[in-house]
Chains A and B, each alone.
Chain A
Amino acid sequence: MNTASLTAKPRKKLDRATVIAIGVIFAIYALAFVLEQVIPSTSMLFTVLKKGATYALVAVSMNLLNGFTGLFSLGQAGFMLIGAYTYAVFTIPVAQRMSVYQYYNGGVIQFTLPVLVAIALAGVFAALFAFLIGLPVLRLKSDYLAIATLGFAEIIRAIFQWDKLGVVTNGSNLLRLFPTFNDFNIKDASGNVTLHLSTLIPFLIAGVCILFIVMLINSSYGRAFKAIRDDETAAEAMGINLPRHKMIAFCTSSFFAGVGGAMLAMYQNSVQAKYFTTSMTYEILLIVVIGGIGSVTGSCISSFLFVACSEWWLRFLDQEQTINGWQVPLLRNGFRLVVFSLIIMAVVLFFRKGIMGTRELPDLFRRRKPSGKGGAKA
């Protein structure tokens, strides 16, 4: 997943740590591919991997904005919603539209786009909305920006649920029957799966997108973003065009949030506007914080940890357990989330740097220099 600093200095020869990092990433992809062929596809592992890849992309896109550009935006769920709807609306097979849009006479859109085109379009639509929203909103500072973007996400949610747009969005009803991750599996004539690809594909989509974000961060634009984060006034004095760079960061972030939304739609098999609430944005923000604000690698690792903990590893806390005849107290439905939120609070309060701080994957393989990485940031 982590493609950090891959292309940091394309002209120079790659140093040893970067080579190891690339090797690790390839190993992870190979492992994902092999595991998928070996382990039965009903295993929780694949749920975690698919959802984790989706969240990793969204978390990295949020990190680009909050961690690297210093714009505290809380509109992520809104852009994911646009992406998810764009993908779903354009990929439902024409033959199925009558049953999906049963209250709207089959809807107005009577064509289907290829999956990859629809995913790209999901990003484009999200970025387009972001551009329109950004024009007024990006002039605002810190918490006002947060609350304004949060407000826009809520407005977008209301618009998509509006009855009058039902011919396109299906109102407040479910959108379903569009291609999902499982449709990437290659099947033989009798319908048996010959090659499992349903986990590798989300990994690849997320990987390519994250690679692009990493390249952006390491370009001159990325350096400008970091300058804006560290000191807006100084950055402006150095000749950085603030509105332009903020807009680029905002639109890029929303583009990938839109792609992430499309992936979430594929993961969930259905889309409904009412699930894209502010709590979804909060969840993603917490992932970014746990991973370390300003670390792409951290965001990726923590999204897999977050999803694994909430969907899989902490599940046992939700069931009553007896050890040697002793009924363990407190364990019942919902306890998992309580434990989980307490862990998050502990991270927020006591480990403010998160898992990675601002380090990236190759930094793990480097020997600590006496001055340390912190010197460069300060």
Chain B
Amino acid sequence: MSASPIVPSSGWSTVRLVAGRELTTRMRSRAYVVTTLVMLVAVVVGGVVLHLAQGSSSAKVVGLTPQTTSLTQPLEAAAKAADDDVEVKPVPDDAAAKAGVEDGSLDAALTGDPTSFTVVVKKDLDSTSAAVLTSLRQQTALANAIQKLGGDPSAVSQQLSDVQLDVAPLQPQAQRDGAQIVAGYVAGILLFITLQTCAQLVAQGVVEEKSSRVVELLLATVRPWQLMAGKVLGIGVVGLVQVGVVVLGGAGTAAALGLVKASDIDLGATALWALVWFVVGFLMYSLALAALAALVSRQEDIGSVTAPVVMLMIVPYVIGISIAPWNPDSPIVVWLSYLPFCAPLVMPIRIALGTVETWQAIVSVLISLALLPALVWLAGRIYSNAVLRTGARVKLKDALRAA
């Protein structure tokens, strides 16, 4: 015979082949490309919208006439003290100031004498600005009084600005702002969607091989564990690429538009943890779903056979995104964030909210990973015993027992 000698292969080269097939066929599927793009567009557009919303509500433009232009520095100082974003814009005269306020290019204008200026607004002055401008008037009045008494107004204002309130909180609360809550939501939703889709892809792939009977052809040359491992790894990489693209897109948009201040949230760490949790979660859910899906022979039956594990994803997800952003230290959220099968959907939200120390996140990952060998063994056993039994649904009990 002319056949060249067949190289005996190691188990893992077969796994690589199986994974490679999953990778190329999935990556080329239109559904995958479309969902990835839709999610990418969603996070980028979401970021831009957030940026525009912040942009229009923040910096208030205040017009200063040549007379009141001396108020620039104290106004900015007062605004800063009140955490209000004010932008000063010089205008040639009172009439121009009024016209600017009228056409909306100015939010307010200060006219008249610096010590007794008038605030020109379209209709009403918002409370923050009112407080800022009132304090500005008080400061100028104080400066005048100090000057009349022969003192140095700038020295006084220096002393005043050095005054600081010492606050000793008995129950320190981590500071959370909008950006953290948004990041928490994005992490929670993204992980839920991608873990669900990817684990379901594994289940569908298992049943596809069973229903098309190709599994018999494959298992004549491949061991069941190699087929299952290749499928899980291949689809895992496919999912990781998807999560990576979306996370990079989201983090990149946030960084480029300055949506988050570096002090509030560590964007890089949050993104990295999201990827870590995707890997951990994917391994657990997809192994469980691969084993359960091997029990049935028709795509229609996947839903009912995988329902218990899908519920195991939905419950922590719902608790995670409905409670964690508002109360990240609630005991149920904390417990779930350490529990295997729940942690991948809860811990990333807590990490994004900045309420966990790194060591706590690592402990949680280790707890989940510790369960993995048992899960691999169990899933492999169920899969091997059930995958060639086509027809009626195989009972879990039988799949566990039969050798």
- A interacts with B: no
Query: Residues of B at under 8 Å CB distance from A?
Result: none
Query: Residues of A at under 8 Å CB distance from B?
Result: none
